[in-house]
Structure 1
Amino acid sequence: MYQPILDPLFGSLGWSALAASLPLLVLFALLGVVRMTAWKASLIALVVALAVAIFIYPMPVDQALLSATLGAAFGFFPILWIVINAIWIYNMTVATGHFDVLQRSFSRVSDDRRIQAMIIAFCFGALLEALAGFGTPVAITTVMLLALGFSPITSAVVSLVANTAPVAFGALAAPLVTLASVTGLPLAELGAMTGRQTPLLAVFVPVVLVGIIDGMRGVRQTLPATLVCGVSFAVTQFVAANYVSVPLTDIIAALVAAGATVLLLRVWKPAGATTQPVARTDSHAAVFRSYLPYLIIIAVFVIAQIGAVAHLLDSVTIKFDWPGLDIRNPAGKQLSLVEFKFNWLTSAGTLLLIAGLLTVPAIGIAPRRALSRYADTYLQLKWPIVTVMSVLAIAYVMNASGQTATLGTWMAAVGGLFALISPILGWLGVAVTGSDTSSNSLFGALQVTAAQRAGIDPLLAAAANGSGGVLGKMISPQNLAIAAGAVGMAGREGDIFRRVLPWSIGFLALMCVLVYLQSLPVLAWMVV
């Protein structure tokens, strides 16, 4: 049995926080400075996390190793299980030529590749985030952009940066449902408050995406389209989160933003278009079949959310405490992080597998060929699989040993300025785990406690954890590995990291200022 200690090093929270930060400092230094491949960097950082847990905290060796195995298992299921099946569907559409048809279809919406990239990465990516989350939009939109002719690194960077504003409401608001459960705050109020923070990001993200692709010239030439897309998404996200439905927020916002952009393009064309010529005209039936895999994905996920169906699928879920792992809080109660939830039918990865099996006859690919593509997908993702499992092992070792709690408690000791750094805590959580849901689970209750001590509205701090967390998604080694693996850049995650880091920090600074002003009379009227 092990009980985490917050200040094991010299009885000092500051020195302990410095020690607790070593795994993260090593990981990002190896990625960004040494330019080591992600799977090697994550394995080295895992060794550092284990060393800190065992020699500084001190955590029994068996408990430290068992927490690492639990994290690795969680890394594969549900996270990698989602990514593998999502990319398998894409690989089948490539093998049958349906993806080429889909590409030409996007070209007919606009012959400007900048606009195509915005619609795919931001609008379609937001829809995938709303339905599945956990890396699915990055995995699929990255390869879609690659197929449109963008370079591998541009495809990866654009997809990662686009996967920001929708994340807080992703996977049918799973991050907010988790946040509500750990804080005791009402889901509706948390959703409403988040809907008064992340829409600000949505306004700027489409503009930034075009800037990444074509610089300031492209930004000026496409400004009407990027503003229509971003503003329509932001307004709809705010309205849906506050007045319609928290779980459906991103679905509604993604569809409205795509529709508004398409309507604009009927009456306006950007100057200086970077064209993607359409080689030939496809029949309506061929176009429909190219969209069919994604329509099947949407249908499967929507059906799975129907009350009776969801209950039936969840009835076979298996929950169990990880064998041998015994982590307790100061009161002697076992922590929930030792539980492994094997929701093998309700998992987004399983739903994607079902959608993939339905896609096989829908697009006319031979079963033997589909099976071969499935095996090839595992080979394609072999190094990202190692990376993701290693990163989640780091996260679980840090959580179980108390390293994460030490960092959070140390950051919470700043008093009234906590509102300014509250989003950073969420950002840090997602950077480590790759999941806004996991970050909310880690730091949600801590945010509420720290806010109460600092005299800040707990609802504001809790929502800021998720809103700041979405900006850590693009620098998470887990998501970097997914993006790199999808476009054949495994081993070059550091190159992608350096490209997305400035955007992550820039957007985070914007969110910190917004939350701080919301804690003051200046924008206090925005708080629910």
Structure 2
Amino acid sequence: MYRQILDPVAGSLAWSSLVAAIPLLALFVLLGILRMTAWLAALISLAVALVVAIVVYPMPAAPAFLAAAEGAAFGFFPILWIVLNAIWIYNMTVHTGHFDVLRRSFAKVSDDQRIQGVIIAFSFGALLEALAGFGTPVAITSVMLIALGFKPLKAATVALVANTAPVAFGALAVPITTLATVTNLPLHDLSAMVGRQTPVLGVFVPLALVFIIDGKRGIRQTWPGALVCGVVFAVAQFAVSNYVSAPLTDIIASLLSAGAMVLFLRVWTPAESYVEGGGVPVTGAAAVAGGSDRQAGASTATMEQPPRNPGGGGSDRGEYDRPAEVFRAYAPYLIIIAVFALAQIPALKDALTSVTKTFNWPGLHIQSAAGKASTLPQFKLDWLDAAGTLLVIAGLLTIPVIRIRPARALRAYGATYRQLATAIVTVMAVLALAYVMNASGQTATLGTWMAGAGGAFALISPILGWLGVAVTGSDTSSNSLFGALQVVAAQKAGLSATLLSAANSSGGVLGKMISPQNLAIAAAAVGMSGKEGDLFRRVLVWSLVFVAVMCLLVYLQSTSALAWMVP
């Protein structure tokens, strides 16, 4: 039994925190400054975390390596299990040409890529986040943007930045329900509080997306549409989280924002229609489609993008797709929605979870610094209820609908694993690093040190959640790590426990875009594996700006200025 020690360096929490941060600093320096390939940076940082755990804390080598193994297993299931199957469904639609039909359908809503980016990355991405989470929105929306003519780096950047405001209520509000469990605070209070923080992000994220796509001109020409989408999403997120249901929050908000945008486009259009120039592969995700097509003797299509057309009118305007083909193009996503919705029916959910197995990771026994048994070694194998398994079911149902031969679908499945090989290594290594830091006490050291800030902790409380998600890639995991710590810090500082616990989740969503796990998913999806450092530099500024806004908001909510917002 290993018992965590929070101040192993000279009995000082501050010095111990500096040492505990070394693995994270190594990871971000290797990625962002040295531009090292993500999988190699993750493996090196994992080795650093193991050395700190064994030499400094000191954690025996056996449990340290067992913790790394558990983290790697969790990285594959359920996280990679979701991404792999989501990309597989996409690749099947590329093979059959239905993704081109979907692209043309979106283009008919608006031939302006700035508007398309908001609808797909923000509204549709929020719906995917609501139903599945865990990287699915980034994986799917980035390749959808590629198919619409976005350059790979820009598509991945837009998808990552868009995957912020919806995250706290993602995967049917699992982060919020987890937070309620670890803090023993009422679920409704936490849902309401988060619903009074993240909508602020929802208003501005669509504006950030059009700026990423087309700079200041994008803001100047498309702000009315972006603002309508953001405001409708924000109002719906606030209303549903406070007065209806936490699990339904993002589902309703995403659908209303997309609907509002479509309706608004009937009475308003940008002064100029923006389309990027240059030719890019249709299957930027991949090489999976291209690789499998090459195996099948087919060629990979290349889509030449038209130049910017000030008067409107994209290259697809003259093309006509039969209604049946348009339906088949949307069918995979409709099937995904239907499968995930049906899985929430109590009787079906009980049946799916009846085979779930929860067990302690063999040989791993850990106590917290307070002497309580840690839940970290508990591994939940919900193989039938997992989002990835539901995506497999959706994929199997998609096969006859889009009329792809089963043998070709199977080849696409194998090719998906080959396409994501480096991403698989990266995600498993990053989660192994996170588990080593959590098990040894490095994460708790950092959190406890930050919690010692007293009343000023309200200002940095979101940073703790941001740090947790940056390490683990999951708002749920960050809430598990730091939720209880936020309550303790709030009690010591005389602040609202509900406010600071919610701040952990709201701040955490802004660490999602810089998480190496999500960076690897995005890079692999657009065919840029090995370029995660480039992505990191593109999104880091947005992450820091938004988390600074969240810190200021939470601080004001802790004072008389905005205390009325705390339930």
Q: Answer yes or no: same fold by TM over 0.5.
A: yes
1:306 aligns with 2:340: no
**What are the residue-to-residue correspondences of 1:235-384 with 2, within 5 Å?**
235-275=235-275, 276-278=314-316, 279-330=318-369, 332-384=371-423
**What are the residue-to-residue correspondences of 1:375-394 with 2, within 5 Å?**
375-394=414-433
> How far apart in 2 are the matches of 1:303 and 1:232?
27
Unaligned runs of 5+ in 2: 276-313
What's the secondary structure of 2:3's corresponding residue?
A: coil
**How far did residue 111 of structure 1 move?**
1.2
**What are the residue-to-residue correspondences of 1:122-521 with 2, within 5 Å?**
122-275=122-275, 276-278=314-316, 279-330=318-369, 332-521=371-560
Q: Look up the equivalent residue of 1:322 and give its one-letter code.
A: W
- Contact 2:357 2:382 (C-alpha < 8 Å) held by counterparts: yes
Q: 1:3 matched to which residue of 2?
A: 3
> How far apart in 1 are the matches of 2:372 and 2:498?
26
> How far apart in 2 are the matches of 1:84 and 1:218?
34
- Relative to total residues, which structure has the larger helix share, 1 or 2? 1
Going from structure 1 to structure 2, the CA distance change for 1:405 and 1:330 (only over 3 Å counts) comes to closer
**How far did residue 420 of structure 1 move?**
0.2
**What are the residue-to-residue correspondences of 1:109-120 with 2, within 5 Å?**
109-120=109-120
> How far apart in 1 are the matches of 2:198 and 2:37?
32
- Contact 2:6 2:369 (C-alpha < 8 Å) held by counterparts: no
Q: Look up the equivalent residue of 1:419 and give its one-letter code.
A: A
**How far did residue 330 of structure 1 move?**
4.3
> How far apart in 2 are the matches of 1:333 and 1:197?
33
1:286-331 deviation digits (Å, cap 9, x = unpaired): 1111000000000000000000100110000011100000111345
- Contact 2:490 2:496 (C-alpha < 8 Å) held by counterparts: yes
1:400-450 deviation digits (Å, cap 9, x = unpaired): 000000000000001000000000000000000000000000000000100
1:140-166 deviation digits (Å, cap 9, x = unpaired): 000000111111000000000000000
> How far apart in 2 are the matches of 1:419 and 1:277?
51
> How far apart in 1 are the matches of 2:558 and 2:369?
32
- Contact 2:357 2:380 (C-alpha < 8 Å) held by counterparts: yes
Going from structure 1 to structure 2, the CA distance change for 1:67 and 1:363 (only over 3 Å counts) comes to same
- Contact 1:107 1:277 (C-alpha < 8 Å) held by counterparts: no
What's the secondary structure of 2:190's corresponding residue?
A: helix
1:29-79 deviation digits (Å, cap 9, x = unpaired): 000000000000000000000000000000000000000000000000000
Q: Look up the equivalent residue of 1:123 and give its one-letter code.
A: S
What's the secondary structure of 1:319's corresponding residue?
A: strand
Q: Look up the equivalent residue of 2:37 and give its one-letter code.
A: T
- Contact 2:331 2:401 (C-alpha < 8 Å) held by counterparts: yes
Q: Look up the equivalent residue of 1:214 and give its one-letter code.
A: D
Q: 1:98 matched to which residue of 2?
A: 98
**How far did residue 332 of structure 1 move?**
4.2
What's the secondary structure of 1:337's corresponding residue?
A: coil
Counting matched residue pairs gives 528
> How far apart in 1 are the matches of 2:84 and 2:455?
44
> How far apart in 1 are the matches of 2:369 and 2:508?
27
- Contact 2:471 2:515 (C-alpha < 8 Å) held by counterparts: yes
> How far apart in 2 are the matches of 1:283 and 1:221?
33
Between 1:268-277 and 1:110-119, the stretch displaced more is: 268-277
1:527 aligns with 2:555: no
Q: TM-score, normalised by structure 2?
A: 0.93
> How far apart in 2 are the matches of 1:32 and 1:328?
35
> How far apart in 2 are the matches of 1:82 and 1:177?
20
> How far apart in 2 are the matches of 1:340 and 1:457?
32
**How far did residue 369 of structure 1 move?**
0.1
What's the secondary structure of 2:273's corresponding residue?
A: coil
- Contact 2:125 2:137 (C-alpha < 8 Å) held by counterparts: yes
Q: Quick one: percent identity of the two aligned structures?
A: 70
**How far did residue 334 of structure 1 move?**
2.3
1:343-370 deviation digits (Å, cap 9, x = unpaired): 0011000000110010011100000000
Between 1:272-281 and 1:350-359, the stretch displaced more is: 272-281
What's the secondary structure of 1:336's corresponding residue?
A: coil
Q: Look up the equivalent residue of 1:252 and give its one-letter code.
A: I
- Contact 2:353 2:382 (C-alpha < 8 Å) held by counterparts: yes
> How far apart in 1 are the matches of 2:393 and 2:478?
29
> How far apart in 2 are the matches of 1:328 and 1:227?
49
Q: 2:281 matched to which residue of 1?
A: none
**How far did residue 274 of structure 1 move?**
1.1
> How far apart in 2 are the matches of 1:186 and 1:446?
17
> How far apart in 2 are the matches of 1:208 and 1:277?
26
> How far apart in 2 are the matches of 1:102 and 1:303?
24
Q: Look up the equivalent residue of 1:298 and give its one-letter code.
A: I
> How far apart in 2 are the matches of 1:470 and 1:341?
23
> How far apart in 2 are the matches of 1:224 and 1:473?
27
> How far apart in 2 are the matches of 1:63 and 1:396?
11
What's the secondary structure of 2:379's corresponding residue?
A: strand
1:87-143 deviation digits (Å, cap 9, x = unpaired): 000000000000000000001111111101110000000000000000000000000
- Contact 1:8 1:57 (C-alpha < 8 Å) held by counterparts: yes
Q: TM-score, normalised by structure 1?
A: 0.99
- Runs of 4 or more consecutive aligned structure 1 residues displaced over 6 Å after TM superposition: none
> How far apart in 2 are the matches of 1:53 and 1:509?
31
Q: Look up the equivalent residue of 2:458 and give its one-letter code.
A: A
> How far apart in 1 are the matches of 2:101 and 2:477?
37
> How far apart in 1 are the matches of 2:315 and 2:180?
48
1:349-399 deviation digits (Å, cap 9, x = unpaired): 000011001001110000000000000000000000000000000000000
> How far apart in 1 are the matches of 2:75 and 2:464?
21
Q: 1:47 matched to which residue of 2?
A: 47
> How far apart in 2 are the matches of 1:222 and 1:488?
29
- Contact 2:240 2:248 (C-alpha < 8 Å) held by counterparts: yes
> How far apart in 2 are the matches of 1:520 and 1:153?
41
Q: Look up the equivalent residue of 1:374 and give its one-letter code.
A: Y
What's the secondary structure of 2:149's corresponding residue?
A: coil
Q: Look up the equivalent residue of 1:107 and give its one-letter code.
A: A
> How far apart in 2 are the matches of 1:246 and 1:483?
27
- Contact 2:27 2:42 (C-alpha < 8 Å) held by counterparts: yes
